[in-house]
Chain A
Amino acid sequence: MFAELEQILLVFLAFLLLVILTVLAATIYRRAAALRKYRILDLNRERFGKRFRELIDEGVSVDEVSAFAFPSRSAEWHAVEHVLFGLLADRRYESAGAALFDKLGYRSHYERKLENRNIIVKSSAVEKLGRMRCEASTGKLAPLLEAKNAEIVPITVRALSKIGTLEALGGVLDRLPDLYSRSFVSRKSIESSLRNFGPAAVPDLVRYGERYVDPVSRASVLEVLGVLGAPEALPFAFRNLDHGDSEVRAKALKVIGAAGGGLPPGEKEKVVALLGDPVWFVRLQAAKALGTLRHDKAEAVLAKRLLDSNWQVRNAAATAIVQTSDNAIGIFLDTLGTTDRYAKESVCEEIQKTDFVYRLIDNLDSPGRDTYGKSREILKIMASLGYGTPLREYLESGADDRIRRELTLIVQQGAAS
């Protein structure tokens, strides 16, 4: 039996040895082949790169460069493709580069690849057509969004966004609810791509946003409008402030915050009301929006939010108060009157983070007794709660002697309490 086993082992060993030698040889061959390939590619890239720029500078028409149309598997084909992508990135040669892709057969080549059954070949072709900004390919790319494949869909969305035309945008927006319902693409992917269409896309985004019934698509469009900071989207955003879906409300607030001022007071009241929304991220966006809208009536509600259960909301409320209120000192002092130590610490932290503490320190030299008194009181509370580092720093390196004297007393009193 062992003799048979020995024979089997021997055969297996010989086979293994052969495999190892093959792997070793393949590794070395692969290195040599790759070096050769990239050397040729580099040479061609340099040669064609120079030549194309010269021809375009000389004013040679696109039709006259057909000598650079190489077979698609050749090293020259790949080198020319690299060079043309380089031209696309250069504003001076951008339009000529796009036209050359068409003229030299790259567009038709990759459009043919869209029929390929191999998903990697297909995805690669989609990506190339997008990068080439082939407007003429939009009609062939958009239907790919209906593919039942999680790989091709996000690449197609990105490709269409790189083409960047309104037709391409329509191709995506027409299918947006369907894309989300089939879960073939993440929201972040789509939102990143939609942003690429830029401000010109705003009217279409609003038009489609109004049409969408499902909250995910509507929130997604609002998110993009918020990033684009589009004032013309404000009416659409306002109409969504009382939407039943919390995410839609939050994204609508984001649009309002990003667009800045210019709102009628009645509309501002709606934003203030959302500071009391049961969902924390709606309150957060409301506080952030109020940070960019000056609205006196928001002060009291923002002050309440300094004690919100969520730290992001507290932070946004403190920032909004510092940015917009003339009575920030009074608001902070009133809030520090709470008996909840944790809440007081949170307020102290926000005062430090927003750099408001430095304004308080400067106020120790203020002629106004009210401002001086309130600032001193806040600093005293901060010192007693262990938030005295900026005070000690001023004591070490501050310039104003009067302030330093005041701070010495405050720090001593804070330590004593």
Chain B
Amino acid sequence: MRAFAVSLVMGFNYFILFYYGFVNLAYTVLLLVSTVVILRYIRKIRYSPFKDFITSPETPPVSILVPAYNEERVIVRTVRSTLAVNYPFFEVIVINDGSKDATLDTLIRTFHLRKVDSAYRNVLKTAPVRGFYYSPDVPNLLVVDKENSGKADSLNCGINVSRSPYFCTVDADSVLEENALIKLMTPTVESPVPVVACGGVIRALNGIHMEDGAVRSIDLPRSSLAMFQIVEYLRAFLFGRVGLDAMNGILILSGAFSLFRKASVVEAGGYLPKNVTEDMELITRLHRHAIERKTPYAIKFISDPVCWTEVPEDLKMLGRQRRRWHLGLMQSIIQNRSALFNPRYGKFGWVVLPYYLFIELLSPVVELIGYVAVVLSYLFGMLSLDFMLLFLALAVLYGIFLSTASVFLEEVTYRRYPRWGHLFRLLFYGVIENFGYRQINSFWRCQAFLKYLVGMRKWEYVEKGKGNTGSRKNGKRESGSP
């Protein structure tokens, strides 16, 4: 029995070694590609025509969809920030998803809305709509009140009501920078290949000073948990997505801030309410839809336009969020398993899906089992203490390298955090996140695996921001992915 256990652990050790090398090689390639792409992009911004498009009548109209569920605390701030964007023609559609708090009343009171009658075209089937609210004082704001049915269904409702060829989804606790939308639309308009979806960068709103719905000054939050997430978001957006975008391989565009071509989304059937990460599922389906129809398409990620969103500041909420993201990733990959290594889907089937499966989805499981296996190997006497410590040090140091490289990329590109103190704190948290925070994350993601296996696949509600203690009963929803 002991011999069997020893062989098992030994075999697993070799697997871990190989897998670890493979994952880190993939990350290094992504980092190198991202560095080249992002530095090129930064130089190109200098001659970007987005300022011309702000005043151009040729810029396509956009509907900004803001699904809201129990958002009375932040909804006005969000609506004000979306109404303040620099864009020639846009409408803001807030979809009140049967909130139990005063979300609707707050909107009616603040913007002097009145109920209007409107025919509702249920192109994408949704839960019943209870009413439409409009004010001639703010003609580009429409609030739709509907029965509670989830975020995906609310977004479908917004698409049904939208009258623009493009729509942009924004979370109800997020704040757009004033040029964010036009910066997202510019490459879409300029691309000779139809862009069906385009996403921007999400950054943590915690610590930011706001005034009249706009970001006035940038600061960092005091909460360590929020700080970890800031560094994590930098890593995810500045090198993860930029690298994948270089090969049109984006599967995750954050629902907190993404632009879509409405016709393509409607043709693909809209959002699927049964998925816990509706945004990722939609992007995956848009890829497949275009590939199956052999139509040229692009799904872009732009590293410049910024949407600020609140991130959870307590472990319980963060755990819920991460479990849900991982569950969503799992659902999307399982639903699209027929495309995996299927020659019909080209690089989507051979590179993109395998990347998400073997690196993004499985890595936390392998990582946690790896920690256990290395310790067991030591206990069985198969590894020396020196080797075990060296291996663990390698795992941690590589994580530190990726985090600090992300902060470096931020520094050479956008430099959003202006003070010296900000820089040192980011670097500090980039180092220490590898001692505990990363491992807790892997643990949550493993929990998502277990939950999926035992059939617990429901949405976990997340309350974000400072000092929140959300519950399912009175919780808020945020995007399905960072």
Residues of A at the B interface (CB closer than 8 Å) are: 2, 5-6, 9-10, 12-13, 16-17, 19-20, 23-24, 26-28, 30-31, 34, 120, 123-124, 126-128, 150-151, 154-155, 158, 183-186, 188-189, 191-193, 195-196, 223, 227, 311, 342, 345-346, 348-349, 352, 386-389, 393
Residue of A nearest to B132 (CB): A389
Q: Give, as a whole number of angstroms, the nearest-CB distance from B413 to chain A.
A: 10
Residues of B contacting A20 in the complex (Cβ-Cβ under 8 angstroms): 397, 400-401, 404
Instruction: Given the known inter-chain contacts A12-B394, A23-B405, please indicate yes or no for A227 contacting B191, CB distance below 8 A.
Output: no
**Most interface-central of B57, B58, B118 (chain A CB within 10 A):** B58
A352 and B394 form a contact (CB under 8 A): no
Contacts of A183 in B (CB 8 A): 192
Chain B residues near A193 (CB-CB < 8 A): 52
Interchain CA distance A127-B46 in the complex, whole Å? 9
Q: Do A13 and B393 have beta carbons less than 8 Å apart? A: yes
Beyond the given A128-B47, A185-B190, could you list 10 further A-B residue pairs with CB under 8 A, ordered by the A residue number?
A6-B384, A9-B391, A9-B394, A16-B398, A24-B404, A154-B49, A186-B192, A191-B58, A192-B59, A192-B189
What is the bound-complex CA distance between A191 and B52, given in angstroms? 12
A389–B404 Cα distance when bound, in Å, is 59
| Inter-chain contact B386/A349, CB cutoff 8 Å | no
Q: How far is the CB of A270 from chain B (nearest CB, A)?
A: 26
- Bitwise, B96-133 to A at CB < 8 A (1) or not (0) is 00000000000000000011111101000000000000
Residues of A within 8 Å of B420, CB to CB, are 31
Task: Report B249-263 CB contacts with A as 1/0, cut-off 8 Å.
Answer: 000000000000000
Residue of B nearest to A350 (CB): B119
Q: Is B60 an interface residue (CB 8 A)?
A: yes
Find out whether the CB atom of B394 lies under 8 angstroms from the CB atom of A192.
no
Residues of B within 8 A of A389 (CB): 114-117
CB atoms of A30 and B412 under 8 A apart: yes
Per the 8 Å Cβ criterion, residues 385-444 of B in contact with A are 386-387, 390-391, 393-394, 397-398, 400-401, 404-405, 407-408, 411-412, 415, 420, 423, 427
Q: What chain B residues lie within 8 Å of A311 (beta carbons)?
A: 121
* Contact A154 B415, CB 8 Å, known A13-B397, A389-B115: no
Chain B hits for A342, CB < 8 A = 119
User: Which residue of B is nearest A7, CB measured?
Assistant: B390
- Selected contact of B192 from candidates A5, A30, A155, A185, CB within 8 Å: A185
Is the Cβ of A31 less than 8 Å from the Cβ of B423? yes
A34/B415 contact (C-beta < 8 A), A13-B394, A27-B423 known: yes
Identify which of B40, B46, B58 contacts A188 (C-beta below 8 A).
B58
Q: Judging by beta carbons under 8 Å apart, are B43 and A192 in contact?
A: no
| B53 interface hit (Cβ, 8 Å) | yes
> B473 in the interface, Cβ–Cβ < 8 Å?
no
Q: Let me know if A227 and B58 touch, CB within 8 A.
A: yes
Could you give 26 example pairs across A and B, Cβ below 8 Å? A6-B384, A6-B390, A10-B390, A13-B393, A16-B397, A16-B398, A20-B401, A27-B423, A28-B423, A30-B408, A31-B411, A31-B415, A120-B44, A124-B43, A126-B47, A154-B49, A185-B190, A186-B189, A189-B49, A191-B58, A192-B59, A193-B52, A195-B58, A348-B117, A348-B119, A389-B117
Give the Cβ gap from B379 to chain A, nearest Cβ, in Å.
16
Q: For the complex, give the distance between the alpha carbons of A311 and B383 in Å.
A: 72
Counting CB contacts under 8 A, is B56 at the interface?
yes
The answer on a CB contact under 8 Å between A352 and B408 is no
Bound-complex Cα distance A158 to B407 (A): 35
Within the complex, the shortest CB–CB distance from B441 to chain A, in Å, comes to 21
Residue of A9, A23, A158, A388 with most partner-chain B CB within 10 A: A23
Which chain B residues lie closer than 8 Å to A120 at the CB level? 40, 43-44
A119 to chain B, nearest CB (A): 9
Taken together as a complex, chains A and B put the C-alpha atoms of A12 and B121 apart, in Å, by 62
